[in-house]
Structure 1
Amino acid sequence: MTDTPVEKLSFEEAMKALEDVVGKLEAGEVSLDDSIKLYERGAALKKHCEARLKAAEEKIAAIQQNEDGEAVGLTPVTGQ
């Protein structure tokens, strides 16, 4: 298990770390205490990935297109 803070990971790094966590938990070869730590890290990684995806979706939704479908600017995204 890496000590890199979750919030410092890119989306791709967080997804890989989440896959590693799931693999270790599924293998069942870790102690109960380590399983709990892995589960907690996995939950944090999942939350981080969801937030990164949501931010990307909002950016994509904010792109304005002209009649030819070309990106011409951005619409500010307001919080909900």
Structure 2
Amino acid sequence: MKAEKNVSFEEAMNQLEAIVTRLEAGDVPLEEALEQFKVGMDLSKYCQDTLNIAEKTLTKIVNADGSEVDFEEPASRSEGE
């Protein structure tokens, strides 16, 4: 089984969880375990890349004029008091 392209983040996570469960059970032949590990690493990278893109998207604010600026977290209340 190869890591599929064009899967949703949720589907990739489900596939990754299934692989981890099978590998943790320990009843997978060595060759299959190695292949599953490789697929799991590909899925893990895809999920991490997707989360990084989402984070970058969410840390942008669109001004009233349509320009984007980086989001800055407000100072904590204890700093301003």
Q: TM-score range by the shorter chain?
A: 0.7 to 0.9
Q: Name structure 1 gaps, 5 residues minimum.
A: 67-71
| Bigger Cα Rg | 2
Distance 1:44 1:13, change over 3 A: same
Over aligned residue pairs, what C-alpha RMSD do you find? 2.4
3-state SS in 2 of match to 1:18:
helix
Which runs of structure 2 are paired with 1:1-80 in the superposition (5 Å)? 1=1, 3=2, 5=4, 7-64=5-62, 73=66, 75=68
Scaled by the length of structure 1, the TM-score of the pair is: 0.74
Deviation, 1:64, is 3.0
% same residue:
36
* TM superposition outliers: structure 1 runs of 4+ over 4 Å: none
TM-score, normalised by the number of residues in structure 2: 0.73
Stretches of structure 2 that go unaligned for 5 or more consecutive residues are: 71-81
